[in-house]
Amino acid sequence: MKVYETIAAALASHGVRTVFGLMGDGNLKLLPELAEAHGVRVIGARHEAGAVAMADGFSRSSGRVGVCTFTQGPGLTNALTALITAQRGGTPMVVLAGDTPTGVRGLPQDIDQAPFWAAAGIAVQELTPETAEAAVAEAFRRARVERRPIALNLPTDLQEQQCPPHGDAVAPLPVPVPAPTTQEDLDPALDVIAAARRPVVIGGRGAVAADARDDLVAFADHIGALLATSLPANSWFRGHPFDVGIAGGFASELGRRLLREADCVIAFGASLNHFTTRGGGLFAPGTPVVQVDVDPSAFGRYVPVRAGLVGDAGDVARALRERLAPRPGVRTDALAAEIAEAVVPPADESGPDGMDPRLVSRAIAGLVAPDRTLVVDGGHFMGFPSMEIGVLDPSHYVFTLDFGSIGLGIGAAVGAAVARPDRTTVVAVGDGGLLMSLGELDTAVRYRLPVIVVVYNDRALGAEMHFLRMSGIPDELSRFETPPLDAVARSMGARGHAVGSLEELEALRPQLADLDGPVLLDCRITDGVRAGWLEEAFQRGTH
């Protein structure tokens, strides 16, 4: 077998049933081999960044390793934004990248790809004809264990070489295993937590990956702590009477107040980055922080920590609970009632230019079954659906802003819809992000995916428009005459509707309940509602 045939067979043997990609001369034999010889479903993207975003959304929604492929040179450079997003998001992914032949110089697509992989933070698994099958296995192992994309760089002449009947094994890299947490390790954290009267437990992406929800809840119940999550862990503590929701820029007003009053923060698998801590302003100055992570380099990366504990989130939560006396902490019946009653619809600030985006989000939540996947693209609007369109657990929520880029939402929604065809996928996107990635709407059409594209259309680059206004600078260059997006969608084979009022949105309920492909809702929103998180970012000077 040739190398590309061996790679295809190895992918199939690892249970790969779907690959997302854009064909080029660096993978034009691999893709047909996957489809014809092994029955792998190949979802053809319109752009390399879209292919990577699809694999990212697929992995985040399914919990499985996503697989994507693209060609060399411009294929890789086009994919970089989505690759960095997946790497920063901790997405397990195997990337099959073409490369120019090693024996030919001066080809138009020839670049040294190694610096680009390094810049994106992507590890490359070395592969030879002798190690091809074992290298694929090692790439999958590393993707799962390290929770990041692992690339296989595939020069076209290498792909044509013959693999020996019995290839060489690849020595697996050692998996770092945290040492068992000792009493000496725990003592600084125990001292801080024992002195707290208003503690809060924050669960992050790492704790979700460790499946530690029950252990964190039991620990929080034991010490009387509030529960909150980072954005990627959205809804993880859903239904608990002392869950205050997302910590950070998308926190509710009550959540912000309660987190500000905390006298101790215990974070499990959460980086406590700039967004989660609202630029360091989420907690009162000097609030002691205990951080739990499998990676000790995470401690204090963004905020000072009083104690850092290396270990599995569930193991550490159990060890702390066993050594602390139970107490009521901040919990009272009155506070539980206040949290339960805090969900109040915002006042309608719709204007002649469009609807209130918060109420659009609430309306969408009421139109689509709760067992939905919500994908959020980037832009000024992004907090509104994140806060107002609830999901059942973190795997139902796909946020594409780990690198701060707009334009990845449609691709991620395609991947999420392929991963979970039993659920309706809702993707919230601005008009700018949609027009950056319009080709992937065609992908959703070609595969008849049940995706509802909700466009928050303010006819502008909304974040930039508001930043300009807050800076006292004319905003004309941030605003655009947007084409009728419902007509654009229909021209591509999707259903499309222009929506100018909440009543018009409600009238679409029957159509949204029975999807045989994508539908785009061009929702005209007012530019008069400014997100609180954006104002905070402006005040902190992070724009």
Are 368 and 312 within one domain? no
How far, in Å, CA of 162 to CA of 3, rounded?
6
Using pLDDT thresholds of 50, 70 and 90, give the confidence band for residue 100. confident
Number of domains in the chain: 3
Between 543 and 89, whose confidence is greater?
Answer: 89
* pLDDT of amino acid 334: 95
If 0-12 CB within 10 Å is exposed, 13-18 middle and 19+ buried, where does residue 516 land? Answer: exposed
**Domain identity same for 147 and 192:** no
> Which positions ≥6 away from 49 have C-beta within 8 Å?
78, 79, 80, 81, 82, 407, 408, 411, 437
Tell whether 408 and 528 lie within a shared domain: yes
* Residue 197 within any structural domain of the chain: yes
Task: Write the CATH number for 207.
Answer: 3.40.50.1220
Looking at the fold, whether 217 and 327 belong to one and the same domain comes out as yes
Find out whether 221 and 240 touch, Cβ atoms under 8 Å: no
What's residue 113's pLDDT? 93
- Tell whether 351 is covered by a domain: no
Query: What was the pLDDT predicted at 284?
Result: 87
In a shared domain, residues 361 and 332: no
Q: Which domain holds residue 372?
A: 357-540
- Residue-level pLDDT at 364: 97
- Percent over 90 (pLDDT), the chain: 80
174 belongs to a structural domain:
no
* Model pLDDT for residues 376-405, shown as the tens digit of each residue: 999 999 999 999 999 999 999 999 998 889
Are residue 276 and residue 390 in the same domain, yes or no? Answer: no
Q: Is residue 111 part of a domain?
A: yes
Q: What is the pLDDT of residues 245-258, one digit of tens each?
A: 999 888 888 999 99
**pTM of the shown model:** 0.92
Whether residue 324 lies inside any domain: the answer is yes
> Are residue 8 and residue 122 in the same domain, yes or no?
yes
Q: Are both 149 and 204 inside the same structural domain? A: no
Residue 296: φ, ψ to 5°: -65, -20
Do residue 335 and residue 364 come from a single domain?
no
Query: What is the reported pLDDT for 428?
Result: 97
Q: What is the pLDDT of residue 529?
A: 92
Q: How far apart are CA 537 and CA 539, in angstroms?
A: 5
pLDDT tens, position by position, 56-71: 999 999 999 999 999 9
Based on the domain organization, do 10 and 130 belong to the same domain?
Answer: yes
Residue 371 placed within a domain: yes
HSE (side-chain half, CA atoms, 13 Å) at 407: 17
Tens digit of each residue's pLDDT (9 = 90 or more) over 514-536: 899 999 999 999 999 998 878 87
pLDDT in tens, 343-365: 777 889 999 999 999 999 999 99
- Of 104-108, 237-241, 368-372, 505-509, the least confident: 104-108
Same domain flag for 332 and 365: no
119 vs 108: which has the higher pLDDT:
119
Return mean pLDDT, the chain.
Answer: 92
Distance CA 437, CA 192 (A): 48
- Domain boundary residue among 159, 194, 228? 159
Of the residues 159, 192, 210, the one at which a domain ends = 159
Q: Express each pLDDT in 156-207 by its tens digit.
A: 999 999 998 876 666 666 655 555 567 778 999 999 999 999 999 999 999 9
Residue 366 in tokens = 């009421």
DSSP state, 395? Answer: G
Handedness of CA 470, 475, 481, 482 (dihedral sign): negative
According to the model, what pLDDT value does residue 540 have? 67
CA 78 to chain CA centroid, nearest Å = 19
CA 8 to chain centre: 28
Tell me if 178 is assigned to some domain. Answer: no
Residue 541: the pLDDT is: 64
Residues 268 and 367 in one domain: no
Residue 374 lies in a domain: yes
pLDDT value at 81 more than 60: yes
Cα 8 to Cα 32: distance, rounded to the nearest angstrom: 9
pLDDT, one tens digit per residue, over 419-449 is 999 999 999 999 999 999 999 999 999 999 9
- Distance set, CA 257 to CA 48, 129, 142 (Å): 43, 60, 41
Is pLDDT above 60 for 542?
Answer: no
Q: The domain spanning residue 23 has which CATH number?
A: 3.40.50.970
Q: Where does a domain end: 340, 368, 391?
A: 340
